[in-house]
Amino acid sequence: MPEVTMFLWGTATASYQIEGAVAEDGRGASIWDTFTHDPGHVRDGHTGDVACDHYHRWSEDVMLMADLGVNSYRFSISWPRVHPEGRGKANKAGLDFYDRLVDELCAKGITPAVTLFHWDLPQALEDEGGWLNRDTAHHLAEYAHTVSGRLADRVPMWITLNEPFIHMVFGYALGTHAPGKALLLDALPVAHHQLLGHGLATQALRANGAERVLITNNCTPVRPASGSPEDLRAAEAYDTLHNRLFNDPVLLGQYPDLSAYGVTTLDAVRDGDAEIIAQPLDGLGINYYNPTRIAAPAEGADTGGLPFEDAGVTGYPTTAFGWPVVPDGLRELLTGLRARYGDALPPVYVTENGCSQADEPGPDGVVDDQARITFLDGHIEAVRAAIAEGVDVRGYYVWSLLDNFEWAEGYDQRFGLVHVDFATQKRTPKASYHWLRERIAAHPEP
């Protein structure tokens, strides 16, 4: 079993975003296959059919990580590659793929950190209601059992869910991600069923000897647009939805007060669920990209019944996505989590942090992404500052190893340390890759 006693420096990816090979070796369809092939959902009609062709080029990609000098790799398993129908018979060829990948990582001294669910739900389960159906939580546990039965002897770190908040909001409340449902607040059962799935999967992983189990939540420091009572209330309501809905039940065993949303009890909750969800955790994964500035809805604004409006963070440089670059927001977030949860906060792993830029090779073939270097430098400094302020941070994973399929934005947003020419699949390490290698080698701790 690989060691995880040192600070983990890693890169992160997700199955649908890099693997391709969507119809190979018995893989079933996922909701993202369906969504991307339904015209109009994804920029320029891009799909993940080929993506980075990682399913065939995984060994080259492991080599890139070994040369980079990272000691961990966070990747997700494609649920429909393992259970093509979402449950029942497992697909041996799918499991074999991950088995080979894990072996190669271990051989190169790179600790595998496996995410079970990074949004590519088997279509067969979506046909039965997806995360609106409580049964999906039990199917996640079955899938967790299958995968850990094969890999737990070599994978010391497991992440049940990636960003359940984003999956609920974009996939089920707004419909801009698969499965494309626009239910607004009626999407709330998706929160509970994902959390229940997290708890049940945690039990299944532990039963197979998994050493460390985490959940990864996307979090953002929330800033009120002004000191007015209305803006303060709106900011608190947003903070509850984005930061507390998925952290409180896991860390404190109860849902936060959702009365700002007109919700007194979540109908989906049954007796005993809270205990299942609040299984003791070995770590909390945090994905940070930017802070959020929130105002009360303007008079007459159509917010779909939500008690806040995004007022936009201004005065900072922005990424290609237009996201503000605020490195100190990561320190603020980490110290804020410590202040909020105290000793209930387990060790924290920054499981994603990175930026999209319009990176292309220059005439000399060099991809000179200086803005990403500045971004990473600032955010690693923020991790160092948070540790100095008493937060137990044990890992930092750059999103992402490779330029890849960025969901509704297709291939236009490049997040990689390594440039991918999607026509030829040529990989070119960017200047930030070389910079990070030097940084890690010079300072094994942030």
Residue 81 or 206 with smaller CB distance to ligand IFM: 81
How many distinct helices (H) and strands (E) make up the chain?
A: 15, 13
Residue 14 or 387 with smaller CB distance to ligand IFM: 14
The 109-148 site mask, x for binding ligand IFM (CB under 6 A), equals ----------------------------------------
Q: How far is the CB of 405 from ligand IFM (least distance, A)?
A: 8
Could you say which of 163, 231, 273, 403 contacts ligand IFM (CB under 6 A)?
Answer: 163
* End-to-end CA gap in the chain: 24
To 10 degrees, the CA torsion angle through 358, 417, 166, 394? -150
Total site size for ligand IFM, rule CB under 6 A: 7
Residues 425-444 that bind ligand IFM (CB under 6 A): none
The string of DSSP letters for 395-437 reads EEEEE-SB----GGGTTSSB--SEEEETTTTEEEE-HHHHHHH
Residue 76 or 111 with smaller CB distance to ligand IFM: 76
Q: How far is the CB of 14 from ligand IFM (least distance, A)?
A: 5
Report if residue 14 touches ligand IFM, rule: CB under 6 A: yes
Dist CA 348 CA 356 (whole Å): 24
Residue 145: its H or E element: helix 135-151
Residue type, 204: A
Cis peptide before 84 (omega within 30 of 0): no
Phi-psi sector, 402: left (phi>0), alpha (psi -120 to 50), beta: beta
Residues 278-297 that bind ligand IFM (CB under 6 A): 287
Name the catalytic one among 104, 126, 163, 309: 163
CA gyration radius for the chain?
21
Dist CA 389 CA 385 (whole Å): 6
Residue closest to ligand IFM, measured at CB:
14
Q: How far is the CB of 288 from ligand IFM (least distance, A)?
A: 10
Dist CA 176 CA 181 (whole Å): 8
Contacts of 77 (CB under 8 A, 6+ apart): 15, 98, 114, 115, 116, 147
Dist CA 226 CA 235 (whole Å): 10
Dist CA 117 CA 136 (whole Å): 12
Q: How far is the CB of 119 from ligand IFM (least distance, A)?
A: 7
Q: How far is the CB of 162 from ligand IFM (least distance, A)?
A: 6
Dist CA 317 CA 290 (whole Å): 11
Residue 130 or 307 with smaller CB distance to ligand IFM: 130
Could you say which of 143, 399, 411, 435 contacts ligand IFM (CB under 6 A)?
Answer: 399
Could you say which of 33, 126, 282, 406 contacts ligand IFM (CB under 6 A)?
Answer: 406
Report if residue 169 touches ligand IFM, rule: CB under 6 A: no
Q: Has 352 been annotated as catalytic?
A: yes
Q: How far is the CB of 175 from ligand IFM (least distance, A)?
A: 17
Q: Has 389 been annotated as catalytic?
A: no
Residue 179 or 307 with smaller CB distance to ligand IFM: 179
Report if residue 53 touches ligand IFM, rule: CB under 6 A: no
Q: How far is the CB of 318 from ligand IFM (least distance, A)?
A: 14
Residue 309 or 406 with smaller CB distance to ligand IFM: 406
Residue 17 or 292 with smaller CB distance to ligand IFM: 17
CA-based torsion, 277, 280, 281, 286: positive or negative? positive
Report if residue 352 touches ligand IFM, rule: CB under 6 A: yes
Name the catalytic one among 19, 104, 309, 352: 352
Task: Provide the binding-site residues for ligand IFM, judged by CB under 6 A.
Answer: 14, 17, 163, 287, 352, 399, 406
Which positions are catalytic?
163, 352
